[in-house]
Amino acid sequence: MKRNLILIVVLFLTISTQAQKDITAKADKSFDAGKYYEAIDLFKYAYAKAKDKSKKAEIIYMTAECYRNVGNTKQAKIWYRKAIKKHHPNPLAILYYGNALKSIEEYDEAQIQYAEYKALVPDDPRGGMGEESCKLAQEWLENPTRYKVVNMYYFNSRQSDYSPTFGKSNYKQVLFTSSREGGTGNKTSDVTGDYYYDIFKTRVDRKGKWSEPIALGEGVNSEFDEGAAITNEKCNTMYFTSFREDKDGNMVCKIYQSTKEGIEWKAADPVLVVQDSITVGHPAISSDELTLLFVAEMRGGQGKKDIWKATRESKSVAWGAPENLGSQINTSGDEMFPYIHNDGSLYFSSDGHLGMGGLDIFMATESMDGNWTLENMKYPINSSADDFGLCFESTKERGYLSSNRLGGRGSDDIYQFSLPPIEFILAGTVKNQKTEDVIAGADVTLIGSDGTNIGKKTENDGTFTFKLTPNTDYRIVAKRGGFLNSKGKETTKGMTTSKEFKMDLFMSPDDSRIDLPGIMYEFGKWNLLPQSLVSLEELVEILNDNPNITIEIGSHTDARGSNQANEALSLKRAKSVVDFLITYGIDEERLSSKGYGESMPKEIDKATAKKYDYLNEGNILTEAFIARLATEEQRENAHQINRRTDFGLTGRDYVPKIKRRR
């Protein structure tokens, strides 16, 4: 990514080959002038002529620096590694080698380089930050955010395409900067080796097809470089970066402003926010056009390239004196490509804050007291490479960004990003508790803490689906004639990712007895053990969910012991359950109890048969049947199954009493 392109101060337009015989000096001079592409060839030629080992190492290091400054990470990695092997004394070779490794996701090796740099230069925080950023990058890659990022192959080229903005307020036209052919500047740059950058436009039709990008007119594009652009909310005013000739004939990088007439952009005028001698770029404009952000490297900043702010009271007056956004935004590194969202939040790119590699995109929100809260946008908005130059579609979580990440089409590509809404789906099935058959035509009601109350019937296969909303508690109630009501619970509170919930609701036939698993007593006694509480509370819920039923609690023993003793014990046990239910507020008139002793051996249902491979659905656990089982363990399990507490309906017409407050 040509991150430094629009902020390079062009000190020299030509290098006099006659006045300079030393090829290394020529290369150094080109480098100092920001003509990195030209300097690369000169350094390589100088290397071939050099004899001294230390001089060769220095030339290799400077070649790596050129590649770093033009954003060619792969070549930078190669040449920094060569410099290290040649024992170049500057430890920055190790730091930048680590950066290059990180940018192509070679995190383990990058951490080694950062650790070595930290050992050599312990006072420089970049070594430790590099190590931490590698760990964070791997974590974020494994746990991406919900954003979706897609390469815009429709209008990307093999060259550099970056800094998209909108050309129309309906978002159907995109403006962007590109070094492709077809621009006004048809010469190649000594800085990048590419054609000079121009601003292009493309539009999408009703079928979703993007037009072939074409350059804007000469009112915007010059014969030299144009850089990052941004339009106002109505997309009829554009602020952009451009190299132009000043009144003294010097080339300077400034912000320009152009307004649209019809479909064409008028000749641009400079935006006066700093002294003429200072290089500025990367404009960002607020929705009311009273705040302008820009990037500059000037006195009063925090380090290298900083984000500055200028304000005005109305669009008809001049901009006020620029203010630095301060150390919470700006660092000793580069902060670039600001963007002001309609909601007032600031987005920008930085290599000075902790990130995944290269430039990362950050979101910053300002509090009432003027302090900023920063958030790295993480993967996939960010990558190990340079990510920058983003714009949003007004209030939607959708827009475009630039990146030279792996897998792109050119050196820099434009990507579309979007944040799909969080979706919660409840998919359930209503089944017969006894047979596990599905129940069609059951009435299922979704009741939410947000006031939701939606009902539907189950399909022929017993299924139902509901869409749920975030941060809501739900009750799901199923009703069907011939069955007891059933219910379930679900919540979306605290959930930040989409999810499909699965739920089976089991409805018990109201003409059969229903076991109460987990009801336990001490041997030979009828006092309920604490372990019985969960099952008993579930029975309380059943009675509350079915307020018109009356039930009989039945208790059963196995066949061991006398009939008389078993009946007496089972009656006491059934009565203890009734007593418990009364203490929980269930009307006594709805309850009766009976001790069945050993007179009603268990008939095996489908659910029980699944637990025991030696029992089949329909088996009745009589004393004779149990005696035929193969092992003592099997026989003991069968006796245990017979020892149970259950209930059955005795009526469906109970009218609940009105409870009066005392």
Which CATH number characterizes residue 589's domain? 3.30.1330.60
Average pLDDT over residues 269-275: 90
Q: Are residues 162 and 120 in the same domain?
A: no
For residue 423, name the pLDDT band (cuts at 50, 70, 90). very high
Torsion 181-185-186-192 (CA) sign: negative
In contact, 629 and 635? CB cutoff 8 Å: yes
CATH code (residue 468): 2.60.40.1120
- Tell me, what's the pLDDT at 319? 96
Closest C-alpha among 228, 274, 268 to residue 244: 268
Minimum mean pLDDT among 5-9, 87-91, 431-435: which range? 5-9
**Contact status, residue 647 vs residue 513, Cβ threshold 8 Å:** yes
**331 and 368 housed in the same domain:** yes
Per-residue pLDDT at 21: 40
Output the average pLDDT for the chain. Answer: 90
- 236 CB-side CA count, 13 A: 3
Local confidence band at 96 (pLDDT 50, 70, 90 cut-offs): very high
Q: How far apart (Å, rounded) are the C-alpha atoms in residues 64 and 93? A: 9
**290 and 430 belong to one structural domain:** no
Q: Is the pTM of this model over 0.85?
A: no
Is 414 within 8 Å of 162 (Cβ atoms)? yes
Residues 228 and 314 both lie in one domain: yes
> How many domains are contained in the chain?
4
Domain carrying residue 242? 148-418
Domain boundary, last residue among 418, 447, 471: 418
Q: How confident is the model at residue 10 (pLDDT cuts 50, 70, 90)?
A: very low
Find the mean pLDDT for residues 628-637: 94
Helices 126-142 and 107-120 meet at what angle, rounded to 10? 160
pLDDT band at 412 (very low <50, low <70, confident <90, very high): very high
E-strand ranges in 494-564 read: 499-507, 514-515, 550-556
Of 19-28, 63-72, 410-419, give the lowest mean pLDDT range.
19-28
**490 found inside a domain:** yes
Q: Is residue 657 part of a domain?
A: no
CATH number for the domain spanning 68: value is 1.25.40.10
Is residue 340 domain-shared with residue 480, that is, in the same domain?
Answer: no
The verdict on residue 659 lying in a domain is no
Report yes or no: 244 and 256 within 8 Å, Cβ to Cβ.
yes
Q: Which two tokens stand for residue 252?
A: 């300077």
Q: Measure the CA–CA gap between 57 and 488, rounded to whole angstroms.
A: 72
Q: Are residues 328 and 386 both part of a single domain?
A: yes
**pLDDT tens digits for range 144-176:** 999 999 999 999 999 999 999 999 999 999 999
With 60 as the cut, is the pLDDT of residue 662 above it? no
Decide if 658 is inside a domain.
Answer: no
Q: Rounded to an integer, what distance in angstroms lies between the CA atom of residue 136 and that of residue 375? A: 13
Long-range pairs for 118-121 at CB < 8 Å and ≥24 separation? 120/91, 120/94, 121/91, 121/95
Domain boundary residue, one of 473, 490, 507: 507
Give the pLDDT score at 223: 86
The CATH number assigned to the domain holding 261 equals 2.120.10.30
Which strand ranges, in their side-by-side order, compose the sheet holding 280-285?
280-285, 291-296, 306-311, 323-324
C-alpha to C-alpha distance for 350 and 334, rounded to whole angstroms: 6
What 3-state DSSP class applies to 610?
helix
Among the listed residues 564, 641, 654, the one whose alpha carbon sits nearest the alpha carbon of residue 609: 641
Q: How many of the other CB atoms lie within 10 Å of CB of 148?
A: 14
Q: What is the 3-state secondary structure (H, E, C) of 235-257?
A: CCEEEEEEEEECCCCCEEEEEEE
**Terminal-to-terminal C-alpha distance of the chain:** 78
List the one residue out of 413, 417, 372 whose CA is nearest residue 392: 417
Average pLDDT over residues 293-309: 92
Q: Is 456 helix (H, G, I), strand (E, B) or coil?
A: strand
pLDDT of residue 111: 96
Closest to 163 in 3D by CA, of 318, 316, 347, 30: 347
Residue 661 lies inside a defined structural domain of this protein: no
Q: Could you tell me if residue 116 is inside a domain?
A: yes
**Mean pLDDT throughout 334-358?**
95
DSSP structural state of residue 546 = S
Nearest to 254 by CA among 234, 267, 269: 269
3-state secondary structure of 287: coil
How far is Cα 256 from Cα 271, in angstroms, rounded to an integer? 5
Same domain, 25 and 85: yes
* Cα–Cα separations (whole angstroms), residue 377 to 143, 364, 385, 628: 13, 10, 14, 69
Burial of 445 (0-12, 13-18, 19+ CB in 10 A): middle
Predicted pLDDT at 7: 47
Return the pLDDT at 1: 52
Distance of CA 635 to the CA centre of its chain: 56
Identify the weakest region by mean pLDDT among 26-30, 340-344, 586-590: 26-30
Q: Is 624 helix (H, G, I), strand (E, B) or coil?
A: helix
Q: What percent of the chain has pLDDT over 70?
A: 95
For 76, 331, 335, the CA distances from 99, given in Å and listed in that order, are 10, 17, 17
Are 196 and 322 in a shared domain?
yes
Q: 229 and 168: one domain?
A: yes
Q: Tell me: pLDDT of 248 over 60.
A: yes
- Domain assignment present for residue 660? The answer is no
Asked whether 66 and 191 are in contact (CB, 8 A), the reply is no
Same domain, 407 and 268: yes
Does residue 174 contact residue 402 with C-beta atoms inside 8 Å? no
- 656 in a structural domain: no
69 and 88 together in one domain: yes
659 falls in which pLDDT band (50, 70, 90)?
low
Structure tokens of 223?
């014969």
Query: What's the confidence (pLDDT) of residue 446?
Result: 97
Q: How far is CA 444 from CA 81, 435, 506, 546, in A?
A: 67, 20, 12, 15
302 & 432 share domain: no
* Section 191-206 average pLDDT: 88
Among residues 389, 418, 447, which one ends one of the domains?
418
Per-residue pLDDT, 268? 93
At 185 the pLDDT is 64
9 within 8 A of 78, measured Cβ to Cβ:
no
Length of the chain: 662
Give the mean pLDDT of 618-636.
95
